[in-house]
Amino acid sequence: MYGTTVAGGGVNLGSVFKLTPAGVVTVLHSFDGGDGANPEAGLVQASDGKLYGTTVFGGRHGEGSIFSIATDGTLTTLYSFPSFDHVDGANPFGLMQHTDGKFYGTTSEGGTSINCDSFDSIGCGTVFSLDLGLGPFVTFVVPSGKVGSVIQILGTDLTGATVVSFNGVPASSFKVVRGTLIKATLPAGATTGPVTVTTSNGTLTSNVNFTVLP
């Protein structure tokens, strides 16, 4: 398991840690201000396997940052929110990855509007997206099920899907409910592994494995 602390670490500006099921904690990274400070939100594991998060303060301009960190502790600052105009926002809190591959998040301050109940004048916050070139994928409402159950698969531009497979075994049947949702019946012979959906734009693969229950 992986998480963040808002303070503590080497210089008391927060850290990223891992925790084993036995309760052993290892600090993977301590923020020093230049690479961010005070990561109040948790982490999200993206489709590339890396962990992503935000810091409320710190970064190049002091207004927060977006970072990635590998499970070996290698941290990369992806974006530092600017202090000079705050149009992009300031003080971000958390990320999510959409099935289009992009990241989305919010900032508590910044933006172009100042008509808010605030003691400062740097804006009321923003909603932002970050495109790192990660491709679209599919995921599930529930990531496990028994043979014969109906599995809800989420994605982007799923209209016109021609094949749905569970670890290489085609679904018994499936229905495209809308462009973002497919309902597929888990076939006999399916085993735990990735789910793929073939569309006219190519094949989408799930960001995590689907678990077939006994």
Quick: pLDDT tens for 91-148: 999 999 999 999 999 999 988 887 776 555 678 899 999 999 999 999 999 999 999 9
Quick: pLDDT tens for 162-188: 999 999 999 999 999 999 999 999 999
> Is the entire prediction scored with pTM above 0.85?
yes
What backbone phi and psi angles, to 5 degrees, belong to 35? Answer: -100, 10
